Amino acid sequence: MSRGLRYLLLASVGIAVVIIDQVTKMWIMESMRLHESIPVIPNLFSLTYIRNPGAAFGLLAGSSNAFRMVFFGVTSLFALALLGTILVRLPEKDWMGQLSIAGILGGAIGNLIDRLRFGEVIDFLDVYIESYHWPAFNVADSAISVGVVFLIIHFAFERKDTSLATPEAHPPSV
């Protein structure tokens, strides 16, 4: 497969994540009131419209708007550059790694769009057991989490090219 086609497919994955993320957030904002919760599976899952001004799990939510915008802007740009660099450096045959990075990039861009538009991230997926709630999240967060898990699994079970370590590959120098 040509490099251009490969990057087009990977870009399509990232763009699909961004579009699904933004469409679902728009639907939630238009169809629900802030803090409204609609049970989907009783005592397990609800759609709950919240806005998270902080990072994961609400970290930095109490910081000033100016600090959060600068902090999240700089860290987002750094993360996007790092992910782009990793994506370009992955071997062409490494589809699992490339798809994982494409999903992570799409999720990061989806949440960055929220931060730029609203100064906070729209969350609405609420998983809980009785009164024990996992922090609400969204499609972008899901893509990031799934991408990271697949990347960890992929790298943990990646087979190393052992041909470089064999004596035949590197004859002793005289």
Tokens, residue 58: 């609400």
Token pair of 129 as six digits: 């057991």
User: Which DSSP helix (H) or strand (E) runs through 40?
Assistant: strand 37-41
**With 80 as the cut, is the pLDDT of residue 6 above it?**
yes
What is the amino acid identity at position 123?
D
- What's the one-letter identity of residue 77? L
Interval 24-45 mean pLDDT: 97
What is the predicted pLDDT for the residue at 141? 95
Query: Which pLDDT belongs to residue 86?
Result: 87
Reported as a single tens digit per residue, the pLDDT across 49-80 is: 999 886 665 555 556 666 767 777 788 888 88
Q: Would you tell me how many other CB atoms lie within 10 Å of the CB of residue 63?
A: 15
Catalytic member of 114, 123, 126, 161: 123
Q: Please, what is the average pLDDT of the chain? A: 86
Residue 137: pLDDT above 90? yes
Given the residues 21, 114, 126, 141, the one annotated as active site: 141
Tens of pLDDT, residue by residue over 101-128, are: 999 999 999 999 998 899 889 999 999 9
Q: Is 80 left (phi over 0), alpha (psi -120 to 50) or beta?
A: alpha
Q: Please state, for a pLDDT cut of 70, what percent of the chain lies above it.
A: 81
Instruction: Please tell me the pTM assigned to this model.
Output: 0.81
58 touches 149 (CB < 8 A): no
141 has catalytic annotation: yes
Instruction: Give strand pairing partners of 52.
Output: 121
Name the pLDDT band for 18 (thresholds 50, 70, 90): very high
